[in-house]
């Protein structure tokens, strides 16, 4: 039966997806070695995190979601091997009382808390872009991560990104040697170093694990992030609630389109870097004084200026160019779903209006007018569209017109590449 359980509680944007992918890929090999990877689906862990954090959004989900934490606890207790590992990054937001209740559900087991963390300054633009995926309109230069007092719903702030604060809440009832702080290496020279640090903390010593996992990169480049922010401004409050925002802004536009179009790193302001530096020094001192088990170098947490521009340094012409590419990608994805048929060739401006009209209609009702231009016609028309140098505001309106009617109709028509995202969405 289970003797030890390792709860990897965060933080977000600290290599958690990579670690979870390694665990999932090697589930059977780890099980053969007596180590259970808890949670068959990522969505089960998402819902369990909501239960632990007493998230009010559970009321809008199917009743089974409210039982997710209990199911994972039962899976841990049923395991016939000595060790279980449960990883989900937003457990990090739980209050001290919520964490204590979660740990009490595992009473009788040797519970360890594992926290991964990264360079504080580089965490700031990462957190900002995650908030964009849920309709944030504040420019990066004016944005500040929320602090500890923001509460368990503050998923993208210092409450979850500061490992010292997470450790203080989750480790309050545990011996210091059962609280493991793992730093994300700043250097990329050793590709799997983060995994080796994580495995050492969790006592995973299993030869022959498959490490060639897909490195999912759902981060946005600086231009793409600014496009999404401007779309949020144009959309306003017409996408209501986290589920609709996650479905259309995060999964459809950000992950499904924009992330593949731009990879330029996002920078940070002098003030943001200075604040991160102060916070990182305090965190390193607190972790050292608490005597937690540290895997890696605490110097990896020290704030260093992110390379790259801030969104305010991006030109309108760059925004326009990437917005056109994003619109083209959305149309091509819709075209892949539609029946092909020739249509009369029209002027570029007429084509632009017609394409957007048909794309919107196709999303609202697949049986309505389908996108019928062939890919070669689309490419030629898009080249002509670029020559028109449409204003950025007009492009934002085009994207808005494409997304909003579909969201209201709750259409099931999407590109095949987005189906996986929807299945995993809260």
For 291-315, the three-class secondary structure string (H helix, E strand, C coil) is: CCEEECCHHHHCCCCCCCECHHHCC
CATH class as words, domain 4-217+267-301:
alpha beta
- Largest Cα–Cα distance of the chain, in whole Å? 73
Closest CA to 306 of 111, 146, 88, 128: 128
pLDDT of residue 420: 46
pLDDT of residue 94: 95
pLDDT of residue 353: 44
Tokens read off for 278: 């102060």
Q: 231-245 burial, b if ≥16 CB within 10 A, otherwise e?
A: bbebbeeebeebebb
What torsion, rounded to 10 degrees, do the Cα atoms 324, 423, 411, 256 define?
0
Between CA 68 and CA 44 the distance in angstroms is 6
pLDDT of residue 399: 54
pLDDT of residue 149: 76
pLDDT of residue 393: 52
Contact 292, 176 (CB under 8 A): yes
What are the sequence ranges of the domains in the chain?
A: 4-217+267-301, 222-262+315-424
Tokens read off for 29: 């090999």
Mean pLDDT per block of 10 residues along the chain (426 residues) reads: 95 93 96 97 96 93 96 97 97 96 97 97 94 95 86 79 96 97 86 94 95 76 97 93 90 93 95 97 98 97 94 97 95 77 45 42 38 48 52 53 51 45 46
pLDDT of residue 404: 56
């Amino acid at each position: 039966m289970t003797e030890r359980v390792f709860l990897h509680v965060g933080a977000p944007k600290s290599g958690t997806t990579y670690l979870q992918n390694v665990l999932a890929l090697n589930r059977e090999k780890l099980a053969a070695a007596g180590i259970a990877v808890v949670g068959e689906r990522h969505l089960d862990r998402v819902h369990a995190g909501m239960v632990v954090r007493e998230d009010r959004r559970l009321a809008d989900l199917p009743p089974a979601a409210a039982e997710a934490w209990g199911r994972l606890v039962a899976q841990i207790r049923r395991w016939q091997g000595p060790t279980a590992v449960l990883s989900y990054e937003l457990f990090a937001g739980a209050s001290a009382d919520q964490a204590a209740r979660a740990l009490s559900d595992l009473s009788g087991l040797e519970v360890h808390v594992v926290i991964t963390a990264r360079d504080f300054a580089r965490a700031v633009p990462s957190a900002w872009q995650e908030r964009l995926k849920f309709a944030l309109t504040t420019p990066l230069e004016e944005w500040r991560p929320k602090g500890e007092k923001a509460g368990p719903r503050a998923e993208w702030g210092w409450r979850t990104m500061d490992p010292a604060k997470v450790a203080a809440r989750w480790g309050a009832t545990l011996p210091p040697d059962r609280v493991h702080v793992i730093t994300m290496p700043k250097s990329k020279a050793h590709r799997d170093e983060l995994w080796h640090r994580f495995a050492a903390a969790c006592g995973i010593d299993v030869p022959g694990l498959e490490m060639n996992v897909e490195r999912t990169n759902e981060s946005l480049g600086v231009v793409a992030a600014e496009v999404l922010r401007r779309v949020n401004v144009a959309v306003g409050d017409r996408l209501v609630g986290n589920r609709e925002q996650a479905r259309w802004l995060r999964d459809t536009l950000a992950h499904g389109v924009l992330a593949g179009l731009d990879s330029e790193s996002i920078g940070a302001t002098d003030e943001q870097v200075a604040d991160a530096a102060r916070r990182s020094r305090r965190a390193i001192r607190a972790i050292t004084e608490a005597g937690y088990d540290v895997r890696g170098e605490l110097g990896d947490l020290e704030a260093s200026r992110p390379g790259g521009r801030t969104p305010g340094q991006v030109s309108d012409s760059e925004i326009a160019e990437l917005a056109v590419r994003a619109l083209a990608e959305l149309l091509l994805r819709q075209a892949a779903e539609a029946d092909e048929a020739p249509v009369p060739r029209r002027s570029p401006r007429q084509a632009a209006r017609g394409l957007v009209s048909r794309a919107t209609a196709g999303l609202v009702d697949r049986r309505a007018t389908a996108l019928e231009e062939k890919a070669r016609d689309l490419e030629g028309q898009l080249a002509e569209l670029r020559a028109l140098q449409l204003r950025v505001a007009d492009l934002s309106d085009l994207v808005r017109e494409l997304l909003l009617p579909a969201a209201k109709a709750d259409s099931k028509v999407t590109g095949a590449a987005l189906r996986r995202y929807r299945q995993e969405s809260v």
